[in-house]
Homo-oligomer: A and B are copies of this chain.
């Protein structure tokens, strides 16, 4: 994907460290399984909104009652979705008194964005290492 066609040539030969895991080299079976579990958890509109509601809630956390009201779904259904997000490692829940508070695990989102971001570092508005090119680690 470098020299012989019309696309950007970053002048890198040992490129792997610079590219995302996704586009740099074929994902191996186990990493794909691992990653797909997280994406699958986000592959439902209700769960995405839950994630977003939790993340954007004041204090970075939200109790289940805050979340249940937003949807026209029963408690058990919300509880189920929260469990899926929890088991995907995207959120964590803590009981305080009668209520259970959920918050997003930032590392999880971070790892995910790592998978996607570098793929398009040249096309995005993210300030890429400017006279970069020489950045290749080792």
Least Cβ–Cβ distance between A35 and chain B, in angstroms: 6
Residue of chain B at shortest CB distance from A104 = B23
Q: Complex Cα distance A24/B51, Å?
A: 11
Q: Which chain B residues border A123 with CB–CB below 8 Å? A: 106-107, 110
Q: Complex Cα distance A24/B33, Å?
A: 29
Residues of A whose CB lies within 8 Å of any CB of B are 1, 4-5, 7, 19, 21-27, 29, 32-33, 35-37, 39-49, 51-53, 55-60, 70, 104, 106-107, 109-110, 112-114, 116-117, 119-120, 123-124, 126-129
Q: Which chain B residues border A29 with CB–CB below 8 Å? A: 45, 49
Q: Which chain B residues border A55 with CB–CB below 8 Å? A: 22-23, 119
User: Is there an interface contact between A33 and B45, defined as CB atoms closer than 8 Å?
Assistant: yes
Judged by DSSP, the binding face of A is: helix
Assuming the contacts A22-B52, A29-B49, asked whether A117 and B119 have C-beta atoms less than 8 A apart, the reply is no
3 closest pairs, A vs B, by CB?
A40-B43, A23-B55, A113-B116
Q: Complex Cα distance A120/B49, Å?
A: 18
User: Is there an interface contact between A40 and B36, defined as CB atoms closer than 8 Å?
Assistant: no
Q: Which chain B residues border A107 with CB–CB below 8 Å? A: 120, 123
User: Is there an interface contact between A1 and B43, defined as CB atoms closer than 8 Å?
Assistant: no
Max count, chain B CB within 10 A of own CB: residue among A36, A57, A70: A36
